[in-house]
Amino acid sequence: MPVRVLAGTVLGVFAGVFVFAEAAHCRSGRRRLGDCDASGGRRSRSVRRSSPGVRAPAAAGRDENTADSDQIIIVLGYANRGQRPNGINRFRVRAGLRSIDPAARSTLLIFCGGAVTGRTPEALILERFARDELGFTGRTVLEGQSTTTWENIANAIPIIDRELTPATTISIVSNSHHAEKARDHLWQMRPDLARRLVRGGDYRFGEHPLVKPIAAVRGLLALRALDQENAKHAAGH
């Protein structure tokens, strides 16, 4: 095979993988959201579960319906062995901070995660990174007991309830597919709170191109298993 043809084939494969990963993450970041669109309208439950529903914001992860709202941003931790945040946790904190809308009346960040693989709760590691290295000075609450995604959401709910106002919006920040899974958990536990879900800042076009394809495959498989489990549970009832 001529070198030019081989090079073109390789480039085509890489381009295909890149497009697949970007589309998978972008779509996941827009699924299982609440029922308020950018203009304050309402959407049906079927649309909330399966389609974007909100107009793309001017900045990544920022929706117009967060303006003049009280934001609650839930940042989910990842297994961290040492005191320093690993690369995944650093990304999640940055994504949480860029989810902040300066037009919001108030913002609260809830950092979630217990001491799963190390001695220090992930929530504390996330907060230290946000404050000490990224200069965040806003309000935070630590949820340092959870060891699973389900527990992340279950333990965050009492905090949300304490902070809830009529104008509260909720963002869940992780990688795109994990955040979608967590949003699904909130729909199962508290549909009234899930209706307040808006996009977080975890998706940006072209970010981490080497990691996204692997994360997309793993995330899609996990969401498929979650949907199958949900279907079985619904059939049982």
pLDDT in tens, 87-125: 999 999 999 999 999 999 999 999 999 999 999 999 999
Cα-Cα-Cα-Cα torsion 233, 177, 187, 167, nearest 10 degrees, comes to 180
Give me the pLDDT at residue 198, please.
Answer: 96
**What is the predicted pLDDT for the residue at 209?**
87
User: Is the Cα torsion angle 139, 192, 203, 215 positive or negative in sign?
Assistant: positive
Give start and end residues of each alpha helix (H) in 77-190. 87-97, 122-128, 149-163, 176-189
Taking the C-alpha atoms of residue 155 and residue 180, their distance in angstroms, rounded to an integer, is: 17
pLDDT for 6 = 66
User: Low-confidence residues of the chain, pLDDT below 50?
Assistant: 37-64
Domain residue spans in the chain? 66-212
- Kindly report the pTM of this predicted structure: 0.82
CATH number of the domain located at residue range(s) 66-212 in this protein: 3.40.50.620
Q: State residue 69's pLDDT score.
A: 85
Amino acid at 61: G
User: What pLDDT is recorded for position 206?
Assistant: 84
Question: In what helix (H) or strand (E) does residue 32 lie, and over which residues does it extend?
Answer: none
